Amino acid sequence: MTRPCAGDTEQKMRKLALSDEILMRVEKPARYIGNEINAVIKDKEKVAIRFAMCFPDVYEIGMSHLGIQILYSMFNEWEDVWCERVYSPWVDLDQIMRERHLPLFALESQEPVRDMDFLGITIQYEMCYTNILQILDLARIPFLAAERGEDVPIVIGGGPCAYNPEPIADFFDLFYIGEGETQYRALLDRYLENRARGGTRLDFLRSAAKLPGIYVPQFYEELYHADGTVRGRKKRYADIPDKITKELVLDVTKTHYPLKPVVPFIKVTQDRVVLEIQRGCIRGCRFCQAGQLYRPVRERDADRLKEYAARMLANTGHEEISLSSLSSSDYTQLDELLNFLIEDCGRRHVNISLPSLRIDAFSLDVMSKVQDVKKSSLTFAPEAGSQRLRNVINKGLTEEAILHGAALAFEGGWTRVKLYFMLGLPTETEEDIRGIGDLSNKIAAVFFETVPKEKRVNGKVQIVTSTSFFIPKPFTPFQWARMCTKEEFLDKAYLTKQGIMEQLNQKSIKYNWHEADVSVLEGVFARGDRRVSKVILEAYRRGCLFDSWSEYFHNDIWLQCFADCGLDIGFYTTRERAEDEIFPWDFIDCGVTKEFLLREWKKAKEETVSPNCKKQCQGCGASRFGVGICREKKTESYV
Amino acid sequence: MKIRIKFAKYGAMKFIGHLDMMRYFQKAVRRADIDIRYSEGFSPHQIMSFAAPLGVGIESYGEYMDIEVLSMTSAEDIKLALNGVMAEGVEILSVNVMPDNVKNAMASVAAASYRIRKKSEDARTAAAGGGEDAADDTAEEFPITDLGGKLQAFWSQEHILYTKETKKSVQEIDLKQGIYELSAEPDGAVRMLVNASSGGNIKPMTVMEQFFRFAGADIPQAACQVIRLETYADMAADGEAHRFVPLADVGKYS
């Protein structure tokens, strides 16, 4: 590189989409300039496909997502594809872009999204739905897929919310159901073939609709009974599938991994190297959607992970590394991997950030090696206050295990404990709710019993008890369950607070609870059908955006939109479903069968626990993939 | 060993703030595999310090940071290694091994030189449609006749007073003794050398605003493009008022 003359460098450099004046006016201009380490720049004349990959939330959230890094890296390894990133412009820039009619652009080329071949949007949580419309709007892509012309990018949705795509089905040309590594190349090849043939947008969608895992919503119509429940579906073409089966990586050790992830300039939520150690979860908690969607459990080989860790740290310069999985304590090679990382990272002055591990002697030993015990806190997620309710939700954690873990931790010097619970779980009683305060109190009592007065740091223990509101999700045993109203939720939070106030050690316990309005709305979107889409569009038109950010959430507008669109929130939330009801998402096969989920729903009501996948197979249906945990020998003694 | 690194920051990188630049360099040092010294304690950090923070939106060709290394082959190797891992818009200009007794970069800063131009109108407002024609940064002359003469007249005043208002106080400050050079360049830019020490730092745009007022020109701050050219230490001998030396060259004087 030759030294440029002061002041005349701009012409030689990549041109930014936004002027200096705008970038100086907005908060954190680094969100919009791209140019980060490991961002991929290609010659646009030399690629056949331009793909804009979007996380519809602000940069700091979107940049922390592993899935996009995986797809970004995989796409850019293909010579004929240039994949770029797009995030939601924050409210300040959003306003400027509207006032000045500036088009949404991708970070790498700084060129309009509208000029790309594809816009892929990952949908990680329901409350980003209006942000999806913002992306389309600012990109100047018609909201409704059916109204899009030949010159507009193909809009693809993916991620967990794509498992019930119906509330946003109208906005997408197609959904990719399942893990992204497997079918994208085939999909892009069909696009190229179609273009070479001179085919239309419709031709491409028809061809794509026959690929495994691909769902083209405009080719299907949702039919309803008079009572509003789903009667069935009608398809427009005979040669497209009735059921869409999720895509799954069979060997996670051999699949693509992003060894050169993009390194942001500004601090983002996940500002570290992330090692995904396994996919799926053996636990089968009945409220948990991820635990069902990503079955079966597949582990990545520890030797491969060690190699990845070294290469990713060298490629990024990150000073921290963390492990990612739904339940790291169940990873069979955890001991070996952590011992390696503690030694290797210590040498490199790299911190290890541990995911929530089950609190036991092993994990406390590991934690004491990598964290400052005095400053860090321990996390337990009992999820319910009583053993009865924990059996209902199939959360294996017992009070005995929690108290034992807490005692070990207090002996080890920890003084801060975080507890997570859910309110509004099926069958919940006042007694279960009071159990939250009782358990919090017992943990505080364990501290005072375990740690002698003279050894107490600052003389006290700090218990932070948090509750969130239970939202039934598709593809879980609780998909039939009734969800509480806002008022019921708030009563339960009040009762929890009362219960804590009555405790002997209440001064050591801090209680946080979640907002109820947004949970109710999330409940509608989670189990919504295609009719919900018009409410989302209407709310966006009336200014709703960044609904997951409480300061921008306008519950009054949402309620008015439901009323004006003639949809009843209670129909989607507070109605317990009949066992034979057809759900809007039943046409998707996530690997786990509806029969299994129904069995689990019944067992929940009987307060019966199901053993985890390592102990005994429950016949969920995922064994048909023939991989991972389903092929391993069961161990009756596994806890 | 104490190493002084001089770098440039331009283009899109001018929008990266000071704290984020520090984080950027911490990661860069790791990528370049430099054997930097770490502090003791439970969470060790790299021994690294920056000279004078640069405001967001300002380009610079005279930024400095000091690091301490445990081992190295040569200063040139460190420069090559770092330049191999830079983002577009950050460039290592020189690497110098400093004598141990040299004050650290931050404590040494006495002055900085700047070049200020007026951005052309189309550089300030992005063309609707974005892409090719948007945000073309080109400069034009300040709409002030006899710029050099006016600068001279401005600087020759006995006092250059301005009122600094903060949340806590209103203070009257005389810029005069902190301006060491002020002139027009042949291409119509303004060049200045001003105090940049921690106690008496003068922002170049503060001087420009007072000058615009003096010259009766109505030019908004956003219309100006500021470039820092060099950062200096003051190596004045006894009896000398100042002797400004680029931070990279301080080692030759100690």
pLDDT higher than threshold 80 for residue A10:
no
Q: What is the pLDDT of residue A369?
A: 86
Contact A17 B61 (CB under 8 A): no
pLDDT higher than threshold 90 for residue B154:
yes
Region B29-56: mean pLDDT is 92
Separation between Cα atoms, residue A300 and residue B75, nearest integer Å = 42
Q: Evaluate whether A378 touches A417 at the Cβ level (below 8 Å).
A: yes
Contact B30 A15 (CB under 8 A): no
Q: Is A353 an interface residue toward B (CB < 8 Å)?
A: no
Set of chain B residues whose Cβ sits within 8 Å of the Cβ of A317: 26-31, 85
Per DSSP, the residues of A286-328 read TT-SHHHHTPSPEEPPHHHHHHHHHHHHHHH--SEEEEE-S-G
Q: How far, in whole angstroms, is CA A274 from its chain's centroid?
A: 15
pLDDT higher than threshold 60 for residue A280:
yes
Q: Evaluate whether A5 touches A75 at the Cβ level (below 8 Å).
A: no
Q: What is the pLDDT of residue A515?
A: 86
Contact B12 A317 (CB under 8 A): no
Tokens, residue B121: 């109108």
Disruptive mutation site among A21, A110, A113 for chain B (greatest number of B CBs within 10 Å):
A21
Separation between Cα atoms, residue A61 and residue A530, nearest integer Å = 28
pLDDT higher than threshold 50 for residue B8:
yes
Contact B137 A102 (CB under 8 A): no
Q: Where are the beta strands (DSSP E) in B41-123?
A: 48-50, 59-68, 90-98, 109-119
Kindly state the helix (H) or strand (E) to which residue A233 belongs, with its residue range: strand A230-235
Q: Is A48 exposed, middle or buried (0-12, 13-18, 19+ CB in 10 A)?
A: middle
pLDDT tier at B131 (50, 70, 90 boundaries)?
very low
Nearest to B93 among A3, A100, A372 (CB): A3
Set of chain B residues whose Cβ sits within 8 Å of the Cβ of A21: 124-126, 222
Looking at the complex, report in whole angstroms how far the Cα of residue A343 sits from the nearest Cα belonging to chain B: 15
pLDDT higher than threshold 50 for residue A632:
yes
Q: Is A267 an interface residue toward B (CB < 8 Å)?
A: yes
Which residue of chain A is at minimal alpha-carbon distance from B22? A265
Average pLDDT, chain A: 95
Nearest to B87 among A23, A29, A35 (CB): A35
Which residue of chain B is at minimal alpha-carbon distance from A39? B87
Contact A372 B43 (CB under 8 A): yes
Q: Evaluate whether A250 touches A244 at the Cβ level (below 8 Å).
A: no
Q: What is the pLDDT of residue A373?
A: 77
Which residue of chain A is at minimal alpha-carbon distance from B137? A10
User: Residue for token digits 């626990």?
Assistant: A609
pLDDT tier at B204 (50, 70, 90 boundaries)?
very high
Which residue of chain A is at minimal alpha-carbon distance from B24? A265
pLDDT tier at B171 (50, 70, 90 boundaries)?
confident
C-alpha torsion sign, points A341, A345, A347, A351: negative
Q: What is the pLDDT of residues A484-532, one digit of tens each?
A: 999 999 999 999 999 999 999 999 999 999 889 999 999 999 999 999 9
Contact B15 A319 (CB under 8 A): no
pLDDT higher than threshold 50 for residue B127:
no
pLDDT higher than threshold 50 for residue A2:
no
Set of chain B residues whose Cβ sits within 8 Å of the Cβ of A14: 11-12, 88
Contact A317 B26 (CB under 8 A): yes
Disruptive mutation site among A18, A27, A35 for chain B (greatest number of B CBs within 10 Å):
A35
Q: Is A370 an interface residue toward B (CB < 8 Å)?
A: no
Residue range B2-98, CATH number: 3.30.70.580
How many other β-carbons are positioned within 10 Å of the β-carbon of residue B74?
10
Least confident window among A58-67, A72-81, A385-394, B114-123: B114-123
Residue from A354, A364, A315 nearest A331 by CA: A354
Region A212-235: mean pLDDT is 97
Set of chain B residues whose Cβ sits within 8 Å of the Cβ of A34: 12
| Range 163-222 of A in CB contact (< 8 A) with B | none
Region A359-388: mean pLDDT is 88
C-alpha torsion sign, points A179, A185, A188, A189: negative
pLDDT higher than threshold 80 for residue B161:
yes
Q: What is the pLDDT of residue A13?
A: 65
Interface A:B, Cβ pairs < 8 A: 147
Region B221-239: mean pLDDT is 93
Set of chain A residues whose Cβ sits within 8 Å of the Cβ of B87: 35-37, 265
Contact B10 A4 (CB under 8 A): yes
Nearest to A266 among B20, B89, B115 (CB): B20
Contact B128 A102 (CB under 8 A): yes
Q: Is A27 an interface residue toward B (CB < 8 Å)?
A: no
Residue ranges per structural domain of chain B: 2-98, 109-253
Q: What is the pLDDT of residue B10?
A: 96
Set of chain B residues whose Cβ sits within 8 Å of the Cβ of A267: 20, 23
Contact B38 A14 (CB under 8 A): no
Residues 6 or more apart whose Cβ sits within 8 Å of residue A534? A565
Region A117-129: mean pLDDT is 98
Looking at the complex, report in whole angstroms how far the Cα of residue B55 sits from the nearest Cα belonging to chain A: 11
Q: What is the pLDDT of residue A171?
A: 98
The DSSP bridge pattern shows strands A509-513 and A462-469 to be: parallel
Contact A319 B27 (CB under 8 A): yes
Q: What is the pLDDT of residues A303-346, one digit of tens each?
A: 999 999 999 999 999 999 999 999 999 999 999 999 999 999 98
Helices H / strands E in chain B, number of each = 6, 12
Contact B31 A314 (CB under 8 A): yes
Q: What is the pLDDT of residues A40-74, one digit of tens each?
A: 999 999 999 999 999 999 999 999 999 999 999 99
Per DSSP, the residues of A509-576 read EEEEE--HHHHHHHHHHHT--GGGHHHHHHHHHTT---TTSGGG--HHHHHHHHHHHT--HHHHTTPP
Contact A37 B87 (CB under 8 A): yes
Q: Is A205 exposed, middle or buried (0-12, 13-18, 19+ CB in 10 A)?
A: buried
Contact A35 B88 (CB under 8 A): yes
Residue from A339, A350, A338 nearest A314 by CA: A350
Which residue of chain B is at minimal alpha-carbon distance from A370? B42
Looking at the complex, report in whole angstroms how far the Cα of residue A514 sits from the nearest Cα belonging to chain B: 32
Q: Evaluate whether B120 touches B140 at the Cβ level (below 8 Å).
A: yes
pLDDT higher than threshold 80 for residue B151:
yes
Q: Evaluate whether A174 touches A205 at the Cβ level (below 8 Å).
A: yes
Looking at the complex, report in whole angstroms how far the Cα of residue A323 sits from the nearest Cα belonging to chain B: 19
Looking at the complex, report in whole angstroms how far the Cα of residue A116 sits from the nearest Cα belonging to chain B: 13
Could you check whether the bond before residue A584 is cis, i.e. omega within 30 degrees of 0?
no
- CA angle A510/A516/A520 to nearest 5° reads 150
Separation between Cα atoms, residue B206 and residue A404, nearest integer Å = 63
The letter for the amino acid at A374 is: K
Percent of chain A with pLDDT over 90: 89
Looking at the complex, report in whole angstroms how far the Cα of residue A105 sits from the nearest Cα belonging to chain B: 8
Residues 6 or more apart whose Cβ sits within 8 Å of residue A34? A14, A85, A107, A108, A110, B12
Q: At what angle do helices A91-100 and A129-139 cross, to 10 degrees?
A: 30
| Range 90-119 of A in CB contact (< 8 A) with B | 100-103, 105, 110-112
pLDDT higher than threshold 90 for residue A576:
yes
Contact B134 A19 (CB under 8 A): yes
pLDDT higher than threshold 60 for residue A5:
no
Least confident window among A387-391, B42-46, B155-159: B42-46
Q: What is the pLDDT of residue B253?
A: 79
Helix boundaries (H) for A79-237: 91-100, 129-139, 184-197, 201-208
Percent of chain B with pLDDT over 90: 74
Set of chain A residues whose Cβ sits within 8 Å of the Cβ of B189: 7
pLDDT higher than threshold 70 for residue A298:
yes
Disruptive mutation site among B59, B80, B137, B138 for chain A (greatest number of A CBs within 10 Å):
B137
Q: What is the pLDDT of residue B121?
A: 66
Pairwise pLDDT comparison (B44 vs A504), residue with the higher score:
A504
Contact A34 B42 (CB under 8 A): no
Residues β-bridged to residue B183: B191
Helix boundaries (H) for B64-163: 75-83, 105-108, 121-124, 147-156
Residues 6 or more apart whose Cβ sits within 8 Å of residue A267? A60, B20, B23
The letter for the amino acid at A117 is: D
Looking at the complex, report in whole angstroms how far the Cα of residue B187 sits from the nearest Cα belonging to chain A: 12
Looking at the complex, report in whole angstroms how far the Cα of residue B98 sits from the nearest Cα belonging to chain A: 23
Residues 6 or more apart whose Cβ sits within 8 Å of residue A5? none
Nearest to A20 among B44, B87, B135 (CB): B135
Residues β-bridged to residue A234: A221
The letter for the amino acid at B57 is: G
In the three-class reduction of DSSP (H, G, I as helix; E, B as strand; rest coil), residue A228 is classed as coil
Q: What is the pLDDT of residues A441-457, one digit of tens each?
A: 999 999 999 988 888 76
Q: Evaluate whether A588 touches A158 at the Cβ level (below 8 Å).
A: no
Contact A349 B91 (CB under 8 A): no
Residue from A233, A285, A225, A167 nearest A578 by CA: A225
Percent of chain B with pLDDT over 70: 93
pLDDT tier at B134 (50, 70, 90 boundaries)?
very low
Set of chain B residues whose Cβ sits within 8 Å of the Cβ of A372: 42-43
Q: Evaluate whether A168 touches A132 at the Cβ level (below 8 Å).
A: yes
Please state, in angstroms and as integers, the Cα–Cα distance from residue B235 to each residue in A469, B86, B191, B254, following that order.
66, 32, 22, 9
Looking at the complex, report in whole angstroms how far the Cα of residue B119 sits from the nearest Cα belonging to chain A: 10
